[in-house]
A and B are shown apart, each in its own frame.
Chain A
């Protein structure tokens, strides 16, 4: 039996701050609340210097582990519309949950976390909000593969590393995916974002490649000059009976390029922003957040509205180059 597995489901902190989603820009970004301030979680000093534990696991040597995570870092670094860089510093004996100021990636045997393939934790400067350390552990209770073409019944390390490193950079989960409920949990039918919270089945290597949604998200946090100049944004709100809808998943689709980029309505008035969009007409679609656990995206205390039908906006929304279009209102109705 396959089980739906959550990646990065346990976002821990070494300091007493709340990791939250930040209602700014596109995508869903991680953030921290410091006092009354809400700040995007990001690295201010680049390159991101990381260590790799000097212990592998069954079927994956430490050397193979290092080359795989370095490849995954490189995939994020290569996004042309973002300014990111990383540097492998060396091997370490420190575990990937150290809180010592060093960013460490490694395996840990956590059979108690029976649905967690990997998780990312942070240490954040409580004054500036800057990330000073982030560790990623991969659960060696699962079977892993580093084979170029993947291996049946083994999880692809590069795919999961790409997802967790997305968290390390400050991205939260994307909801661009479809799932079905099965005994034991959800199974992914399809996804169009590496940052979807539930992994593809063991044996799949499909998540080694970043999608438009991932690229828009990372570029929104670490924008290059060309990103700001060449892409645009849509902002507006999702409403039901005149009131804002919190937590609606809003997808923008460009019929010319075929790219899907999504965001959420992140406030009580239903306001959303989707940035990193190709210029041109976009089709907008709003849907309830029903393809993964709400807590994969938001604080469980929030009152996320799931009671509305999927709805397309009846206007094509034209995204300008280097600018934004605002005041778009998507009116949804109850189920």
Chain B
């Protein structure tokens, strides 16, 4: 959505008029803090079969006692970020994300006819990451209040199972785009920030599929000073 908005604006805004509100901010050394709501998409954790070794003359292949199909459910969460502008267009950013998605394992096809169930567990996920944010002044709109940006970076994934007694860690790399909309033009200003990202993750909670792409989206309140 943010990318669409950026493209549309690029078509209608005269680049000569595209400039930052207030002209003096942000500047090198400006700081931006933001915090808000996060949504992470779910992903498949894979299928598995509880297998026993089959006796000769009783069929071929392993004997399936039951099957499982696991998925990490989509989950809401929170996000906080701190950005420092290196130039007027470029910022480096540190962020933390928190969510409590549920692992859902469908257990079925029992060889002795047990009822299928969905066994669950809720994990606590933290992502500590760093990003480079490149603002796109030529694409600003609404008199410079709307500022599209793209970003990319990497981070550390920390996922705690229920009971907090088992920690699984991993890495994540992300890329995305977004839009900031500032209310006002003073040096210190409040705004809204929307992000969409693809987060490539390795490690953390997984049932064998160690790499996955996780779409995320967030909407934050931002403060620039």
Which residues of A does B touch, CB under 8 Å? 2, 176-178, 187-192, 200-201, 203-204, 206, 211, 251, 253, 255-256, 258, 260, 279-281, 283, 285, 287, 309-316, 318-321, 323, 325
CB distance A191 to B55 under 8 Å? yes
* Residues on A with beta carbons closer than 8 Å to the beta carbon of B111: 178
B121 in the interface (beta carbon within 8 A):
yes
Contact status A255-B48, CB under 8 Å: yes
Contact A253 B50 (CB under 8 A): yes
Q: Is the CB of A191 within 8 A of B166?
A: no
Taking a contact as CB atoms under 8 Å apart, the answer to whether B63 and A189 are in contact is yes
Q: Name the one of A188, A253, A314 contacting B55, with C-beta atoms under 8 angstroms.
A: A188
- In the complex, the answer to whether B165 meets A320 with C-beta atoms within 8 Å is yes
Are B165 and A200 in touch, CB under 8 angstroms?
no
Q: Specify which of A190, A211, A309 is in contact with B58 (CB 8 Å cutoff).
A: A190
- Contact with A285, one of B49, B66, B162 (Cβ below 8 angstroms): B66
Binary per-residue interface labels of chain B (103-142) against chain A in the complex, 1 for a CB within 8 Å, 0 otherwise: 1010100111111111111000000000000000000000
A314 to B208, CA, bound (A): 22
Asked if B183 is at the interface of the complex by the 8 Å CB criterion, the answer is no
B-to-A contact residues, CB < 8 Å: 45-46, 48-59, 62-63, 65-66, 68, 70, 103, 105, 107, 110-121, 161-163, 165-166, 206-208
Of A192, A280, A283, A309, the residue contacting B53 (CB under 8 A) is A192
Q: A318 to B159, alpha carbons, bound, how many Å?
A: 13
Complex: A235 Cα to B55 Cα, angstroms: 31
The answer to whether B166 and A177 touch across the interface, beta carbons within 8 angstroms, is no
A-side contacts of B107, CB under 8 Å: 283, 285, 312
Given known contacts A190-B58, A281-B103, A312-B117, A255 and B70 CB-to-CB distance under 8 angstroms: yes
Decide: B65 and A260 in contact? CB cutoff 8 A. Answer: yes
Measured between C-beta atoms, what is the minimum distance from A308 to chain B in Å? 11
Which residue of the partner chain A has the closest CB to B47? A255
Contact of A281 among B63, B65, B105, B165 (CB under 8 A): B105
Given contacts A201-B55, A256-B208, A312-B114, contact A318 B119 (CB under 8 A): no
- Assess the B207–A255 pair: CB atoms within 8 A: yes
Pairwise interchain contact B66-A325, C-beta atoms closer than 8 A: no
The 7 closest A-B pairs by CB, nearest first: A190-B63, A320-B165, A190-B52, A310-B114, A316-B121, A192-B52, A318-B161
Q: Contact check: which of B54, B68, B115 meets A283 at CB < 8 Å?
A: B68
Q: B117 and A323: CB pair below 8 A?
A: no
Point out the residues of chain B lying under 8 angstroms from A320, CB to CB. Answer: 163, 165-166
Beyond A318-B163, A320-B166, whether A200 also contacts B114 by CB under 8 A is no
Which chain A positions have C-beta within 8 A of B105? 255, 281, 283, 316
Q: With A and B bound together, what is the CA distance between A280 and B105 in angstroms?
A: 13
**Contact of A253 with B166 at beta-carbon distance under 8 Å, contacts A191-B53, A211-B53, A260-B50 already known:** no
Complex CA gap A285/B65 in Å reads: 10
A325 and B56 in contact, given A178-B63, A314-B117 (Cβ under 8 angstroms): no
Whether A256 and B163, one on each chain, are in contact in the complex, defined by CB atoms closer than 8 angstroms, is no
In the bound complex, residues from chain A placing their C-beta under 8 Å from that of B163 are 318, 320, 325
CA of A204 to CA of B181, assembled, Å: 72
In the bound assembly, the distance between CA atoms of A178 and B112 in angstroms comes to 10
- Shortest C-beta distance, B109 to chain A (Å), equals 11
Can you list 8 A-B contacts with CB-CB less than 8 angstroms, sorted by A residue number? A178-B52, A178-B63, A187-B55, A201-B57, A253-B66, A279-B166, A313-B119, A320-B166
Q: If the complex has contacts A256-B208, A316-B120, are A190 and B54 also in contact, measured as CB distance less than 8 A?
A: yes
Compute how far the CA of A211 lies from the CA of B118 in the bound complex, rounded to whole angstroms.
27
Would B114 and A281 count as touching, CB distance under 8 A?
Answer: no
Find chain A residues with CB under 8 A from B115 CB: 309, 311-312
Min Cβ gap A260→B in Å is 6
Can you add 6 more A-B contacts, CB < 8 Å, to A256-B208, A310-B114, A312-B114? A255-B48, A256-B48, A281-B105, A283-B66, A310-B113, A312-B117
- Complex Cα spacing A256 to B70, Å: 10
Chain B positions within 8 Å of A279 at CB level: 166
- Rounded to whole angstroms, the CA-CA distance of A251 and B48 in the bound complex is 15
Q: Shortest CB–CB separation between residue A33 and chain B, in angstroms?
A: 33
Cα–Cα, bound, A253→B65 (Å): 10
Task: Please name the residue on chain A nearest to B54 by beta carbon.
Answer: A190
Contact A309–B166 (Cβ < 8 Å): no
Please determine whether B121 and A281 come into contact, CB atoms closer than 8 angstroms. yes
A262 to B46, CA, bound (A): 23
Please determine whether A204 and B48 come into contact, CB atoms closer than 8 angstroms.
Answer: no
Q: Is the CB of A200 within 8 A of B119?
A: no
Shortest C-beta distance, B79 to chain A (Å), equals 26
* A280–B166 CB distance below 8 A: yes
Report the minimum CB–CB distance from A206 to chain B (whole Å). 5
Residues of chain A contacted by B48 (CB below 8 angstroms): 255-256, 258
CA distance A200 to B115 in the complex (A): 29
**Contact status A315-B119, CB under 8 Å:** yes
Residues of A within 8 A of B110 (CB): 285, 310, 312
A178 to B51, CA, bound (A): 11
Contact A318 to B53, CB < 8 A, known contacts A255-B70, A312-B117: no
